[in-house]
Amino acid sequence: MKQTWLIFVKDIQQEFKTRYAINAILLFAVVTLSAVSFAIGTFTAGSQVLSALFWVILFFSSMSGLSHIFIREEESQTADTLKLVASPMHIYLGKFLFNLILLFALEIILVPLFIAVMNFKLGNFPLFLLTLFIGSFGMAGGGTMVAAIISKASSKGALFTVLAFPIILPVMITGISATKKATETTPIASAQNELQALFAFGVIIITASILLFDYVWNE
Amino acid sequence: MLSKLWKAILFVGIALVFTGAFLWSSLKEGLGDFTRVLYFHVPVAWITVVFFFMAAYYSYRYLRTKDILFDAYAKISNELGILFAIMATITGSIWAKVIWHSFWNWDPRETSIFILLLIYGAYFSLRSAIEQEDRRARLAAVYSLLAFVTVPFFIFIVPRIYFSLHPDPVINPQGKINLDVRQRIIFFSSLFFQTILFLWIFNVRKTQVKLQMYLREYKETKLLEEK
């Protein structure tokens, strides 16, 4: 547990030195949001369309930043040192925690902006937040694992989205469905299926990643 | 000798299945002539899933043993998986055009096969991005297993959340088979012969890959000896 925490703290400190990932991810979100908002213009899109758009923006902005965590280790050639000081499971969990916090930061900025700019009406705000919260675990878990795979491949940038999309898509599909329900004034229990699926996906993808990470990390 | 016998059986069997499907089969109410796609689309779709499982299995074996042959097997399972997935998509799409009046409308079943195609595409683009052989094999195996974990969500969970127009699967939640006797005979024989066909193709490819590897090893040792 301590190792995980130390890796997490190290990554946070490193991030604050350059602020690369957080800048990339937030600016990407703002740029996409303004592009979408500009494209829609003065029309008011229905809540069905908006909840899908929200997840598309969230997905692609997170894709722009989540891969950075492992690519950074490869570029600064610190991966080997890290291999010596920590076990693979803790490295994965530490990086996962960092990506999770990064996603939460993104959501904290994106959600109010999206609601304000797109005139997004939410009937059941707690359900929306709960969906985001549970969904983030699956996204961060899958994203971290694909980032680890991609950091070992030769062409790093473009491939990440391609590889991560099929893995993270269950989160997107169920997330969109739950968000649609959250736009109406329905009780949380009505989205029980979606929340369960999101939760199960998070648990499964994180477990599978912990089991498989060893093979990616150690050559 | 045995393989020749199987080839003959396969040839006759597939021919009989085709004839049966088009001439002898009884038709379902409401579907009419379009019932017949059942005998081709469903087995192909099942085999796609089997190939997907096989790719995951061989990937697992590779990670355990680090034997490059298993990586080659995983790769050919995925190659053949793409082929069958495309066939399942095309037959399903034509059927959808007739019944639902559009080739593609993101029914949960269509989504799941589309994701499967995406995963195959991602798998091969990952392979092409890595030059070192053992690293490529390892990362591809990990990705294959990671994808294997997510696919059950599309097959079992997404259709439960979203309403699907797709006809009941042959083995449905009630555990009943909604086919009459003739349909059953043709369907199961079609499934049987197509499974043999798929095992046969897979075996041919397997032997081919094995021979390629022996040849390479032989050439390498010869080169070393010459030096």
Q: Is the pLDDT of residue A90 over 60?
A: yes
Which residue segment(s) compose the domain that A114 sits in?
2-217
The minimum CA-CA distance between A16 and chain B, rounded to whole Å, is 31
Rounded CA-CA distance A100/A110 in Å is 15
Q: Is the pLDDT of residue A28 over 80?
A: yes
The C-alpha atoms of residue B139 and residue A70 are separated, in whole angstroms, by: 15
Measured from the Cβ of residue B40, the count of other Cβ atoms closer than 10 Å reads 18
User: A76: how many CB neighbours lie within 10 A of its CB?
Assistant: 10
At residue A137, the pLDDT reads: 93
pLDDT for res B211 = 92
Mean of pLDDT values over A19-31: 87
Say how far apart CA A137 and CA A99 lie, in whole Å.
Answer: 9
- Please count the structural domains in chain A: 1
Low-confidence ranges of chain B (pLDDT < 50): none
Q: What string of DSSP letters covers B129-141? A: H--SHHHHHHHHH
pLDDT tens digit string along B141-176? Answer: 999 998 888 877 777 666 666 666 676 555 555 555
Rounded Cα–Cα distance for residues A2 and A11 (Å) = 14
Residues 6+ apart with CB under 8 A from B38: B170, B183, B187
Contacts of B139 in chain A (CB under 8 A): 149, 152-153, 216
Query: What are the tokens at B57?
Result: 């299995």
Contact residues, A window 197-216, toward B, CB-based 8 Å cutoff: 197, 200-201, 204-205, 208-209, 212, 215-216
> How far apart are the CA of B171 and the nearest CA of chain A, in angstroms?
23
Distance CA B182, CA B180 (A): 6
DSSP state of B142: H
B192 inside 8 A of chain A by CB:
no
Q: How is B61-79 classified by DSSP, letter by letter?
A: HHHHH--HHHHHHHHHHHH
- On whether the CB atoms of residues B61 and B98 are closer than 8 A, the answer is no
Q: How far apart are CA A212 and CA B132, in angstroms?
A: 20
Residue of A nearest to B60 (CA): A212
One-letter amino acid at A90 equals: H
Mean pLDDT of chain A: 86
Q: How confident is the model at residue A108 (pLDDT cuts 50, 70, 90)?
A: very high
Residues A147, A216 contacting (CB under 8 angstroms): no
Determine, for residues A145 and B146 on separate chains, whether the beta-carbon distance falls below 8 Å: yes
CB A201 within 8 A of CB A174: yes
Question: Which DSSP string corresponds to B160-217?
Answer: HHS---SPPPSS-TT------HHHHHHHHHHHHHHHHHHHHHHHHHHHHHHHHHHHHH
Q: Residue A207 pLDDT more than 70? A: yes
Backbone phi, then psi, for B28, in 5-degree steps?
-85, 145
- Tokens 């029914």, residue located: B107
Distance separating alpha carbons of residues B18 and B16, to the nearest angstrom: 5
pLDDT in tens, A135-175: 999 999 999 999 988 888 866 667 888 888 888 888 888 89
Of the candidates B138, B146, B153, the beta carbon closest to that of A201 is on: B153
Average pLDDT over residues A58-80: 84
Asked if the C-beta of A155 comes within 8 angstroms of chain B's C-beta atoms, the answer is: yes
Chain B, nearest residue to A202 by Cα: B150
